[in-house]
Amino acid sequence: MQQIFLFLYRLRALLLFLALELLAVGIIFTHNSPQGAVFFNSSNKLVGNLLSVKNNFVSYFSLYTANQALAEKNAELLNKLDRVSPVLDSANLSIDSVLAKNFEFWSARVINNSIHLNQNYITLNKGTKDGIEEGMGVFNELGVVGRVKGTSNNFSSVISLLNTNLLISSKIKETEVFGSIKWDGLKSNEAKLLYVPRHVQIEPGQEIVTSGYNAVFPEGIMIGKVKSVNPGSETNYLDISVSLSVDFSKLNFIYLVKNDSREELDSLGIEMETAGP
């Protein structure tokens, strides 16, 4: 018995090494699961506050561009409002206007962002206290940014579109062809449109928007433009490169969207799956 203890004692550094590495690998896997506890990342209180303080200093440098972008978004919204508002004749009102309000919107500020790794995350300065929930869509005036992965009281952590684990249901605006946007980990301004069959005609320059099928984003939020189309190497799908409309290196203010009927849609999906053929 004593021999065994002596033996283990001699190996103590190796054993501790293995234990610490196992611990590290454990947290890597729990962190990178698409949904999971986030108490131990940049959305925790202390880290979030520190990042927030830093961002208060740094954000002054990008105030001009941020203001410009906000002004442009305002102008766009005013245009839309102008088109929507003149419904004076009640005959033009849709009957189920109560049910039509499916989406709620919030705004928040980016306090931490990375674009150079393969699993990039963004931290926002709002959390459960402000009504932010897991699974909300995140976008800015240029297009889709990501999806909320987890929240703490005051901060939330977002899986960036620049994360090889995130798929976003999307379609080509003109032709209504569906596919999934996924980042390939190479350039911060390019992604791939997956699962588009070979027979589909696609031209470079066509716009890609969210499809509204996955119930995270409303339909029609900009994602990017088709950059090049090639026949896929071995699959039945086309290899489509998309230039993203969002400049991820200059994220500042973003919007969050919550689909109020998401639970309903999700549970319907689960029912369909469990019912099976």
Partner 1 sequence: MTTGKIVKYSLSFILYFLIQVFILKDLVLFGYAFCFLYVFFLLSLPHELPTIPLMLIGFFMGLFIDLFYDSLGMHTASAVLLGFLRNPWIQVNTPTGGYDDNVPPTLLNMGMGWFVFYSIPLILIHHLLFFYIDILGTDLYLPLVIRVSASMAFTFVLGIIVQAVFYKKERVL
Contact 158, 124 (CB under 8 A): yes
Longest dimension (CA), the chain: 93
- Residue 114 in the binding site for partner 1 (CB under 8 A): yes
Contact 205, 225 (CB under 8 A): yes
Nearer to partner 1, 101 or 116 (CB): 116
Contact 211, 195 (CB under 8 A): no
Residue at token pair 């549970």: 267
Site residues for partner 1, 138-157, by CB under 8 A, read 157
End-to-end CA distance of the chain: 60
Amino acid at 47: V
Question: Quick one: which of 110, 123, 139, 166 contacts partner 1 (CB under 8 A)?
Answer: 123
CB of 59 to partner 1, least distance (A): 13
Q: Which residues pair with 157 in a beta bridge?
A: 123, 150
Dist. CA 50–CA 60, nearest whole Å: 17
CB of 20 to partner 1, least distance (A): 5
- Residue 44 in the binding site for partner 1 (CB under 8 A): yes
Question: Quick one: which of 31, 109, 225, 250 contacts partner 1 (CB under 8 A)?
Answer: 31
- Residue 25 in the binding site for partner 1 (CB under 8 A): yes
Nearer to partner 1, 155 or 217 (CB): 155
CB of 220 to partner 1, least distance (A): 30
Three-class SS state of 262 = helix
Nearer to partner 1, 80 or 187 (CB): 187
- Residue 6 in the binding site for partner 1 (CB under 8 A): no
Closest CA to 54 of 42, 69, 67: 42
Burial of 28 (C-beta count, 10 Å sphere; 0-12/13-18/19+) = exposed
- Residue 237 in the binding site for partner 1 (CB under 8 A): no
- Residue 185 in the binding site for partner 1 (CB under 8 A): yes
Question: Quick one: which of 6, 8, 10, 21 contacts partner 1 (CB under 8 A)?
Answer: 21
By the criterion CB under 8 A, which residues form the site for partner 1?
12-14, 16-17, 20-21, 23-29, 31, 40-42, 44, 47, 50-51, 54, 112, 114-121, 123, 157, 164, 184-188
